[in-house]
Chain A
Amino acid sequence: MSKHLLSTTAAAVLLSASAALACDAPIKVGVLHSLSGTMAISETTLKDTMEMLVEQQNAAGGVLGCELEAVVVDPASDWPLFAEKARELLTVHDVDVIFGNWTSVSRKSVLPVIEELNGLLFYPVQYEGEESSKNVFYTGAAPNQQAIPATDYFLEELEVEKFALLGTDYVYPRTTNNILESYLKEKGIAADDIFVNYTPFGHSDWSKIVADVVALGADGKKVGVISTINGDANVGFYKELAAAGISADDIPVVAFSVGEEELAGLDPSNLVGHLAAWNYFQSAESDANEAWVESWKARMGEERVTNDPMEAHYIGFNMWVNAATAAGTTDVDAVRTAMYGQEFPNLTGGTAVMLPNHHLAKPVLIGEIQEDGQFDIISQTTEVPGDAWTDFLPESAVLKSDWKDLGCGMYNTSTSSCVQIKSNY
């Protein structure tokens, strides 16, 4: 660590002496995404994204006059291996920053290592919140940037009165549904009007659940489905939905885990009009997005699509580059301080801002599925600041994360004390 610090201070001194500095070693960027195992398909895309971003940055002159080098490791969708690989990246490869992880459990696995070794992780996927680590920047959506606005859309625009919360049985749907239940009750929806169901990963037999959802309409209230169903279980779910002839006008479904990539696994013609909520859709209309989609397709092939976590990495990476440039070093603590308030244009228009709670302020988009597997954006909010601790659960409402001024990720505002410096894992 001290060696590292020495070299960076030395670099800073040299920098001030002469702007044109030749680097003795490239700056290393760790990429911690599964390239094999169940998560490979989602995460491989992000690995390719990172390699593309690093290449683009190098073409633009690198960072601090140094070339960037992507160090790619494969944690193989094996959660303990994530911790091992993170340790390897930080101690063996001496990377300055890590971009990685997809599932919450992999993040929880990595957290203790990152905090112990004072690393820096950019996490690009929408997640359940209820966490704040000094060493992690969450560039994906917190529940209030995806779930809550989508629920508001259901309540206000579609006038849904009865909710079916369907999810795969793991932490993200569990926590999100918990938050939503409490939010809906606050909005005056009776407990009887909320139906919750959890299914295993890769579930395929959906007939009974779909029938249950249809039966919810029997008391004359408009039913809406909020789906946190993960991965390929969606294929069977949407097929059953289509077979039961449920149109989006009767029972709309809004999904938080279905994006452009997932729709490739089924024929979307029967799903037209169902919804998804994200911070980014490929169909977003902006010049930056057009260029981004173009360079992605040029690199990966015409049939490839872009999605929300890719945009999160795009923003996260560029913010890191700018923060490192502003700090004049890639030292973790200096970069972290420089990160607060960093601004970078979103691909969907508007500007993302890094908040002191390590979350981004980003707009929330709601899209309707179209015949071609793309989304038609029908609603776009202004930038919503990400909230680490939800306001809709009593235990979390009193908590606040502010690493900039309070230096604490779990600050209890009612007792005015920091519950813990390290994150909970």
Chain B
Amino acid sequence: MVRFFCLWLLALCGLLPLQPIQAQSVDAPIQQLLQTHGEIIAKSSRKSIGPAIDALAGSGLPEAQVVLQRWQDKEMWVGKDTGLFVFGDKDGKELLATDVADGSTLGPFVAKDFKQLKPNSGIRGMIAAALVQFQLSNPDPIVRLTALSAIERDAEASHLTALRASIDGEPNADILARKTRLERLLTIQFAEDDVERIAAIKGFDGDLGVDVRAALNPLATTQIVASDTPLTGSDIRGIIAPGSDGFSETDAYALLVADDKAKPIIDPEDQKQILVANINGGSVAGFPVSTLDTQIARDEAYAALAAAGRADPVATQAETATILAGFTFYERYIGAPPNVALAAVAVLSNIENKVAVNQAVDLGLDALSLASIYFLAAIGLAITFGVMGVINMAHGEFIMMGAYTGYVVQLFVPDYTLSIILAIPLAFAVTFAAGVAMERLVIRWLYHRPLETLLATFGVSIALQQIAKNIFGTQARPLTAPGWLDGSLIINDIVQISYIRIAIFILALLFLALFLIVMNRTRLGLEVRAVTQNPRMAASMGINPDKINMLTFGFGSGIAGIAGVAIGLYAKVTSEMGADYIVQSFMTVVVGGVGNIWGTLLGATMVGSLQKGIEWLNPSNTLAAQTYMILFIILFIQFRPRGIIALKGRAAEA
């Protein structure tokens, strides 16, 4: 009894499998098949896995589909000692295993005795491609869509037949449309008949899909060939002159050398090696070593060596030019038969034109989005700096405070939608309070010393930044957008914009409206304008300038807080995020023209479009875009010191 209990305990602890592995149906054909390819399956490399997948997919065994699927889902394990494959579900240190053959439970095992098969995404793609044949006519539409995605990613010639066969019985209209389109694309790539292919190609005229271009571009591939006799033929696209776009004279010459049509050129390092190898009694081919300290001298020495037959002859600069002149370079279609290639080129050129237009639209959207972000970051400043004339260097830190408020709210409210709805008024409240406190404690003493406001608020800024670091750490904190803001609005494969950016854009418009309403339609706005224009006069009319200044500053700061939530949603939340926006924000306000919200709007649009424009000109260096954008702004302010929309008259001097 005791002994039995001990055994049971041991088994429970996983030291002994409850059910010995022998219970597994080792002789099942699917297990046998897996065993045959056991080694390459365990090796799990895309380069060698092919036969195993093909064997499984082509085995005709009913279990093959399940095995492939669960293997793809990383649910297949292999016994370290037995080498047998099982399906497994890891639970803590235990592995709940089932038989690959019939799905019967084999019992919990010690997970360490098994190795999980982890097919990488390349192999998973291959498995998915193999599974297509089972899935295309599956009753479950989701499975059929999975199969279509697999074909889109990894198309094979065999898919074309399977796809065609499945089109007739397709009940779902959307899936049918996708299948048909995919069938046309596969026809372009794999069909035997050129006429069929050309028809399919022409069917895509003007289509913006990346997949269409991906199918057509390989057909239009060309190769450059050199010839000293004129080449004609339908596969010749035309003549390309050395030294023209992307085909330098060096490339051209290298092509000739590779074709054994010209002598090679030697690079200085190789030349040096050969010279060194031929040093003989302090001289090389009669040239004393000490004189070989210029390239010209070395060339001469090498030429002497070559003349003596002790080195390979090489071409000099002058020779390369004459040799090059003796050849004509042609571009030849190699991707497809000439008529197919020409059809592809014709359709592609139409598409490319449309693509260019759409890319410009997309760039415009990006610029607009960036502008709205700058506007959002700057609008609070437009109030505190533009209306009140207060330089608030801590403005960026108010943005940061808003973002952190959002993060803290998400810690307590796990529902992302609710937390954002809560975070926005809370962020406003927090930064409003901070703004009022700062106005009361610091700024109101300095209304006549603007330069010192700059420095005092800078002090507040670095203090706030460090406090945020001490509380939240320097690592970025997650601020996650609700699910309905995930993804992008896709107009076509080129023009798309993420919903979160659209939300920011709308928020910016809302703020603009809010600003205009508050300033122009409310009592507060009237009083703000009065205090701004003439505080003494306003005071004598019964307005309390102190209170108005406080509220205005709080309002501007509060808006910065909301902007912080928005910016945190699309980018990152760190203690230094405010510092990233402060200089840009000031420039946005100054460029636009201080004291005018429309100016700020224009300023943001200009800064945003300018940056995107420069990025487009130099796509490999975003940093350069920022640099030149700032340089441009500096120059712009030199020539229009009061901004795009300049205040005129007395207000301008205030």
Do A and B touch directly, given a CB cutoff of 8 Å in the complex? Answer: yes
Contact segment of A96-104, A237-245, A328-336: A237-245
Residues on A with C-beta less than 8 A from B576 are: 38, 202
Within 8 A of B (CB), among A163-210: 169, 192, 195-200, 202-205, 207-209
Contact segment of A47-55, A80-88, A215-223, A293-301: A215-223
Contact segment of B60-68, B117-125, B440-448, B557-565: B117-125
B210 touches which of A157, A200, A215, A232 (Cβ 8 Å):
A215
B622 touches which of A199, A221, A232, A376 (Cβ 8 Å):
A199
Main secondary structure of the interface of B (DSSP, over half): helix
Contact status B273-A211, CB under 8 Å = no
Roughly how many angstroms separate A232 CA and B472 CA in the complex, as a whole number? 14
Q: How far is the CB of B454 from chain A (nearest CB, A)?
A: 24
Contact segment of B27-35, B473-481, B595-603: B473-481
Contact status A232-B213, CB under 8 Å = no
Residues on B with C-beta less than 8 A from A261 are: 475
Contact status B475-A264, CB under 8 Å = yes
Task: Mark B600-616 against chain A: 1 for CB-CB distance below 8 A, else 0.
Answer: 00000000000010011
Contact status B476-A235, CB under 8 Å = yes
Roughly how many angstroms separate A261 CA and B214 CA in the complex, as a whole number? 37
Give 19 A-B contacts (CB < 8 Å), ordered by A residue: A36-B469, A40-B474, A41-B474, A156-B45, A197-B621, A198-B621, A199-B622, A202-B577, A205-B571, A208-B366, A211-B496, A219-B218, A220-B215, A220-B218, A236-B571, A242-B486, A243-B488, A249-B153, A266-B572
Residues on B with C-beta less than 8 A from A372 are: none
Contact status B370-A265, CB under 8 Å = no
Contact status B622-A198, CB under 8 Å = yes
Contact status A236-B121, CB under 8 Å = no
Known contacts A41-B473, A215-B210, A270-B486; is A204 also within 8 Å of B570 by CB? yes
Known contacts A211-B366, A239-B570; is A266 also within 8 Å of B486 by CB? no
Q: Please, which residue of chain B has its CB at the minimum distance from the CB of A219?
A: B217
User: What 9 A-B pairs come out closest when comparing CB atoms?
Assistant: A265-B476, A204-B571, A243-B498, A220-B214, A235-B572, A219-B217, A218-B213, A232-B476, A41-B474
Contact status B478-A267, CB under 8 Å = yes
Task: Mark A233-264 against chain B: 1 for CB-CB distance below 8 A, else 0.
Answer: 10110011011110011101000000001001
Contact status A240-B622, CB under 8 Å = no
Question: B312 an interface residue at 8 Å Cβ cutoff?
Answer: no
- Interface size of B by CB at 8 A reads 70
Question: B619 an interface residue at 8 Å Cβ cutoff?
Answer: yes
Residues on B with C-beta less than 8 A from A273 are: 121
Residues on A with C-beta less than 8 A from B493 are: 214
Question: A128 an interface residue at 8 Å Cβ cutoff?
Answer: no
Known contacts A211-B362, A252-B121; is A265 also within 8 Å of B475 by CB? yes
Q: Please, which residue of chain B has its CB at the minimum distance from the CB of A198?
A: B621
Roughly how many angstroms separate A376 CA and B486 CA in the complex, as a whole number? 25
Known contacts A38-B576, A198-B621, A208-B366; is A414 also within 8 Å of B273 by CB? yes
A250 touches which of B123, B153, B570, B623 (Cβ 8 Å):
B153
Q: How far is the CB of B78 from chain A (nearest CB, A)?
A: 15
Q: How far is the CB of A290 from chain B (nearest CB, A)?
A: 11
Question: B585 an interface residue at 8 Å Cβ cutoff?
Answer: no
Contact status A203-B622, CB under 8 Å = yes
Roughly how many angstroms separate A231 CA and B571 CA in the complex, as a whole number? 13
Question: A377 an interface residue at 8 Å Cβ cutoff?
Answer: yes
Q: Please, which residue of chain B has its CB at the minimum distance from the CB of A207?
A: B366
Question: Contact residues of B with A, CB < 8 Å?
Answer: 44-47, 74, 118-125, 149, 153, 210, 213-218, 246, 269, 273, 355, 359, 362-363, 366, 369-370, 373, 469, 473-478, 480, 486-488, 493-494, 496-501, 567, 570-574, 576-577, 580, 612, 615-616, 619-623, 626
Roughly how many angstroms separate A153 CA and B125 CA in the complex, as a whole number? 15
Q: How far is the CB of B147 from chain A (nearest CB, A)?
A: 14
Contact status A207-B498, CB under 8 Å = yes
Question: A327 an interface residue at 8 Å Cβ cutoff?
Answer: no
Contact status B475-A157, CB under 8 Å = no
Residues on A with C-beta less than 8 A from B567 are: 204
Residues on B with C-beta less than 8 A from A202 are: 572, 574, 576-577, 580
Contact status A240-B362, CB under 8 Å = no
Question: A159 an interface residue at 8 Å Cβ cutoff?
Answer: yes
Residues on B with C-beta less than 8 A from A377 are: 118
Roughly how many angstroms separate A127 CA and B619 CA in the complex, as a whole number? 26
Residues on B with C-beta less than 8 A from A376 are: 74, 118
Q: How far is the CB of A417 from chain B (nearest CB, A)?
A: 12
Contact status A158-B46, CB under 8 Å = yes
Residues on B with C-beta less than 8 A from A366 are: 120
Contact status B474-A207, CB under 8 Å = no
Roughly how many angstroms separate A126 CA and B567 CA in the complex, as a whole number? 31
Question: A212 an interface residue at 8 Å Cβ cutoff?
Answer: yes
Roughly how many angstroms separate A40 CA and B466 CA in the complex, as a whole number? 12
Contact status B121-A158, CB under 8 Å = yes
Roughly how many angstroms separate A205 CA and B623 CA in the complex, as a whole number? 12
Contact status A158-B474, CB under 8 Å = no
Q: Which of B273, B498, B577, B615 has the most CB of A within 10 A?
A: B498
Residues on B with C-beta less than 8 A from A6 are: none
Residues on A with C-beta less than 8 A from B499 are: 243
Residues on A with C-beta less than 8 A from B570 are: 204, 236, 239
